[in-house]
Structure 1
């Protein structure tokens, strides 16, 4: 073979440009035949149930066999490769005992045979085979090349294989099932109503302006139109939103009028950029600050910024969606991200579900859907909404999936489940104001996590007993400079007052490493093990003191503040932090502010903190286990890395042993203990934690 690496790159690039699944598979077998000078190349894919291999594409065998030939795992040479997950290279296939002749393929004239498994993240995707008429093995270079090709193609073919869209046998079910992320629990059915802008931010191309003053005026006009749109949406939907969740419209208005957005776009227009291109760049920069965060809550805030930018773009280009009267029936709203203002355009009684191709369980789409009782599935892979416009859809928020064009029998079964679930929810409403207690009398405190005041409403409406984690980073991340003590004070006062007298654990600034500030540049090779959390704030004492003073002053009228310190790994960190708090209390009292020393706790996220609990006990009043980071550090797994995210398991035995150790240490030291993070939202994990003796879950 000539230049195998260059050939591989060319092959992968060619496939990447191929959008149609059938064309993609045909391209693979055609190009491999040419590159390897083989008479036959065939691609077998596992059916979604992983129990058979189906001939998906071929060059050299009969085309009529495609989609019809099926082999069990361990049946024939192809099945042997799938079962053993190993390469097979033999000179004369028909003489091998494992060979199974399939008349439909017309492969009797071929002798040499080489096949390799396609494996993605430890799961079998299929088998790639080349054959020829010569009675000799493929050489070592050819074998190495095919193995390399298989390793590169497995990921590309994985999503296609899992979706089942390549399967066209008449015997297969006509409906399609798409997996996503649980956004809001519940089940809904209805017709798919697609919400899509005419142009997205990603489609904006670089451009220059011919009149900076006119383009700046157009930009400000677009801002005003979006503001009016938000105001109208607030009026339509506001009466249906519980409590202060209505404040989300205010959050959007705040983003819309932020100096970072307005001044950033104006400056780029002055430099010669067109208004759409200037807007696109600024929105990307603002969203990027949140996207790079390892905190899933903060990462999800990038979606809000992008959503606002998209709305401004639509107005700027006068590409508003065409107004089409929605049918008077149950609808499933579908799009990349459905915003709160999108929801406001429809009567709530018609919205029976939400499907988003992007986002996460912490997106405001999911938060609002949860508050309104609308089932929602986020980050649905491979779904092309336009393809199923107007089709019947089932949204299963309990499983995190949606089913398109379900048969009547399946639809009727889901309708029965909906009725059953409604009866169950009605029963739960009677319990939400009662204490969370097991049948044998074990009392559990249920808290909520938040970073914006409005986000905690669903939890409070359902009986949350306070805030277990308030993320204080957002005011720092959306400013173009460090916020002043007075600015922070106003925010913290609103948060504490909203929950008083229920306790609110405010985490000190957890910035650095993966959470970047636009005005404080940091560059590290390994940010997860770098300058972040308490390490950053102790090194920037002025910022820490300012934040502590603002929180202490906000607590004067409320008395429900608890301070929480992130990323503790050393005893001297907590000792110094406590000294700063005590001094701030003294200083404020001397100035006439009757501040009091609040409870001070630490987050156990780093394994060293777990082992140092007895040494840290004199400086803390409570402990909160940050289950996300503790699991990540214990298992050395980056949960945001798709290659290893499947290994992130908060029920791993090592995590269980760590939680047991922490609980016993805190019990012996009489330290109140809670757990926050994704683990606290997993019903199975919650049962395990209760069994371990945990009495507070956030």
Structure 2
């Protein structure tokens, strides 16, 4: 049995690996004894994965799955039942062998019938005469009475029931164990993909061809709600559509590509276009990143080399851009992976210039627009009047792309990575970009449209109310003051933070200059950027984290390969082993502080006492050396990040070498729970309200108080309203969060008293899970006007009564 299971698993794994191959590879299955076997080939099933990847209609995908499985396993019936989005019922989503009229109509409760029993028990059921079983429920429209043999397995993904996969036959004996093992293996491989279809609900919702109402799920790029007409951005030939071609006139091709690169450079240098005065000055740094990529010698040299080798300009451009983007996509760090999108955007703009001597002007209608496309670049946004852009929808991209960063800065709702959505098929349609939930709604029916309009109006009034709080303190009704700082990753983040009332920078990620260069940046290059950040916030404090790369944050020009990067060469370990880089960065930061006096150094991933001892010595030596060279630098405060549990346990021994502490809640949660938040198999277990995390945070705060060390917390936890209430009860008086969330968290804090939170904190100490803790806090959040989707209501009680 075990060997058969392993063989089945190996076969399917091989199938998945070869699904994209053009060559036909034939595999044979063991004889399951289902029928006299004809040595069926798995090559038919390989198309399942391909079909899932390229088919937009969920019903077509599911129909293809049951058809291929029925043929592969040589059975009379193969059926797929999926849970409804509310997990109350199972519906026959696709079948081969039962009546097609039953699809979408045959409906069972989760404990009803044989299929319901499988769903309720989460166990496999293999019967020889199903109709005689007491649990059998006959559904007339399925016409399944002739079938006696029954085998069903649950579809489970990340501990959640997705549906049930069933095969049936006319024989009156159970399916062999080998067939059962194989079907279990097939189900385990398909569950993840089917979970995406099941959660979206498109297979279940009754859609009228007339109105075309659909919902599509993506990633939360930038919060907010936007309603408008769908406007397709750059609906012309893409890089992916370029085919291989040769050229006989190399000089002409080289002149054309050079002219195209120059034209795009001039576009970027022309500034921010229609965004005009609405674009914060520092956001021009994002355009500078594009310019740096475009002017990279590697880009033009590789293109010209390919043309010299015989390629025409478009094909040479495509190959070069694809190779450069792939280098970024291979990086483990999400920031680096997101830069692949920028490379592709640059390549697309050059291609547009290359294929058209005159750039076609965009004459957008004078109405609210939702911009949609595969990857919408910063320069694309600059071509539209800001007041017309009510939302952004990208079928590709991530929450770390420059598009999402800019959308956050400008307050434009954005949904990234919307799969199975083809905007070119819906030009001019009414569409809603819901950045709160990470979804877009196509052609909403009148009642839903009216509700969204009400929510948009309410949110606009709410944001206007928040503007009055920008310069007000984040103080509870009983006088507990919380300092709200901002997290920044680019210079572009400076202006939004200040506009939303940030009292400083709690975490400045200094990796950006290293990521956008093709080599380690010089001390002078770093000095220029750091000086702008410190000057923008002076006299407010700026906590500059030293270089946090290594292992999971690889640079394209400094490869680090490790089997377990999260436990490897990263953070302070990397920089101490590369002291020249560390000293150069410290010197640049110290020099940038001369005219500002607001620098605070922050050391990442500390796990040992000798790490802080060594770091402090390097800073002291740099201060002495710079003063001798005529730079009047000062000794800044030095802080350490608590992300590794050992740092928490060594706090008393580390205290003599640090001036303050900053808790990195994302990494600390990850290490305490042994959960990789980027791993879809376990990411649902990542929750900073896990009881163990709260216990750790209380202990850290108590230790810091005893050691007289100021302590702050940064990360996603500082934007979670439930977590903020508990942190306030614990006594945390400094939080660092994204600029957009500062006004909302400020309003929340001004709506509660710390005294009233103390009993709540005591109750959470008795909870056994984050689910219990969130349920305990939910009623209080409701009373202060914070709705379940984490958007506060317009009128929060006590918001204007705080001192």
| Range with greater deviation from structure 2 (620-629 or 302-311) | 302-311
**Partner Cα separation in structure 2 for residue 320 and residue 627 of structure 1:** 51
Does 2:269 align with 1:238?
no
Q: Post-superposition shift, 1:618?
A: 0.6
The answer to whether the Cα contact below 8 Å between 2:289 and 2:516 also exists between their aligned partners in 1 is: no
Q: 2:593 aligned to 555, 572, 595, which one?
A: 555
Q: Deviations over 1:294-343 (max 9, x none)?
A: 55445434433332222123223439986563333221111223222222
Change (3 A) 1:667 1:467: same
1:441-472 C-alpha deviation (Å, 9 max, x unpaired): 11111112223211232121111111112222
Give the match's secondary structure for 2:409. helix
Aligned to 2:47: 14
Cα deviations by residue, 1:212-234 (Å, 9 ceiling, x for unpaired): 54433322211122123334561
Cα distance between partner residues in 1 of 2:309 and 2:655: 56
What pairs with 1:627-638 in structure 2 (closer than 5 Å)? 627-638=665-676
Contact 1:367–1:458 (CA under 8 A) maintained in structure 2: no
Whole-Å separation in 2 of the counterparts to 1:334 and 1:484: 39
Match of 2:458 in 1: 420
> 1:29-86, CA deviations, whole angstroms, 9 ceiling, x for partnerless residues?
2232233232111111222222111112222211222222111111111111111111
1:45: which partner in 2? 82
Identify the residue that residue 589 of structure 1 maps to in structure 2: 627
Give the aligned partner of residue 559 of structure 2: 521
Shift of 1:622: 0.9
User: How far does residue 633 in structure 1 lie from its aligned partner after superposition?
Assistant: 1.4
Q: Where do residues 120-519 of structure 1 align in structure 2 (5 Å cutoff)?
A: 120-167=157-204, 169=206, 175-205=213-243, 210-232=248-270, 234-270=272-308, 274-284=312-322, 286-287=324-325, 290-291=328-329, 296-318=334-356, 323=361, 325-519=363-557
**Among candidates 124, 131, 153, match of residue 87 of structure 1:** 124
For the residues of structure 1 that align with 2:126 and 2:405, how far apart are their CA atoms?
54
In structure 2, stretches of 5+ residues that fail to align are 12-26, 30-41, 737-803
1:447 is paired with a residue whose SS is strand
Q: Distance in 2 between matches of 1:445 and 1:208?
A: 62
Cα distance, 1:631 vs structure 2: 1.5
Q: CA deviation at 1:680?
A: 2.0
SS at match of 1:421: helix
SS of 1:377's equivalent?
strand
Contact 1:12–1:153 (8 Å) recurs in 2: no
Are residues 1:545 and 2:583 paired? Answer: yes
Q: Which moved more, 1:348-357 or 1:583-592?
A: 348-357
2:224 and 2:296 map into 1 onto residues whose CA distance is: 36
> Secondary structure of 2:630's match?
coil
In 1, distance between residues paired with 2:416 and 2:386? Answer: 19
1:65 alignment partner, one of 102, 105, 121? 102
| Cα 1:637/1:207, change in 2 over 3 Å | farther
In structure 2, what is the Cα distance between the partners aligned to 1:165 and 1:654?
A: 38
1:566 Cα deviation from its structure 2 partner: 1.1
Tell me which of 93, 111, 125 is aligned to 1:56: 93
Cα 1:35–1:368 shift into 2, 3 Å? closer
Quote how far apart the aligned CAs of 1:681 are. Answer: 2.4
Aligned partners of 2:704, 2:330: CA distance in 1, in Å?
A: 34
Aligned to 1:101: 138
Deviation string for 1:374-428 (max 9, x for gaps)?
Answer: 2222233332323332221122223332221111111112212222222211111
1:353–1:669 Cα change, 3 Å: same
Q: 1:489-517 CA deviation, whole Å, 9 max, x = no partner?
A: 22222222222111111111112112223
**Is 1:684 the equivalent of 2:722?**
yes
Partners in 2 of 1:154 and 1:62 — Cα distance?
A: 24
Contact 1:233 1:341 in 2 (8 A): no
SS of the residue 1:573 aligns to = helix
5+ long unaligned stretches in structure 1:
none
Contact 1:334 / 1:355 at 8 angstroms: preserved in 2? yes
Q: Give the Cα–Cα distance (whole angstroms) in 1 for the partners of residues 582 and 392 of structure 2.
A: 41
Label 1:691 to 1:318 Cα distance change in 2 as closer, same or farther (>3 A).
farther
1:115 matched residue in structure 2: 152
Q: Which moved more, 1:649-658 or 1:336-345?
A: 336-345
Distance 1:455 1:270, change over 3 A: farther
Tell me if the contact between 2:523 and 2:584 (Cα under 8 Å) persists in the aligned partners: yes
Please point out which of 682, 689, 703 is paired with 1:665.
Answer: 703
Q: Structure 1 residues 284 and 616 mapped into 2: Cα distance closer, same or farther (>3 Å)?
A: farther
Q: 573-582 or 397-406: which moved more?
A: 397-406
**d(CA) in 2 for partners of 1:281 and 1:688?**
52
Distance of 2:251 and 2:726 partners within structure 1: 63
Does the Cα contact within 8 Å between 2:214 and 2:444 map onto a contact in 1?
yes
Report the CA distance shift for 1:665/1:354 in structure 2 as closer, same or farther (over 3 A): same
Distance 1:551 1:480 in 2: 21
What TM-score, normalized to structure 2? 0.82
- Following the alignment from structure 2 to structure 1, what is the Cα–Cα distance between the partners of residues 306 and 701? 54
Kindly indicate whether residue 63 of structure 2 is the aligned counterpart of residue 26 of structure 1: yes
Shift of 1:344: 2.1
Aligned-partner Cα distance in 1 for 2:453–2:680:
35
- Is the 1:449–1:468 Cα contact (8 Å) retained in structure 2? yes
**Cα offsets for 1:207-264 (capped at 9, x unmatched):** 6654554433322211122123334561321311134224433332233223343344
After TM superposition, the structure 1 = structure 2 runs for residues 531-542 of structure 1, keeping only pairs within 5 Å, are 531-542=569-580
Summarize the Cα distance change of 1:358–1:661 in structure 2 as closer, same or farther, 3 Å threshold: farther
Taking the aligned partners of 1:210 and 1:515, their CA distance within structure 2 comes to 43
Report the 3-state secondary structure (helix = DSSP H, G, I; strand = E; otherwise coil) of the residue aligned with 2:689: coil
Count of residues in correspondence between the two structures:
698
Q: Post-superposition shift, 1:87?
A: 0.6
Which whole-Å deviations, capped at 9, do the CAs of 1:511-560 have from their partners, x for residues lacking one? 21122233333222222211111111111111111111111111112111
Q: 1:679 to 1:210 in 2, by over 3 A?
A: farther
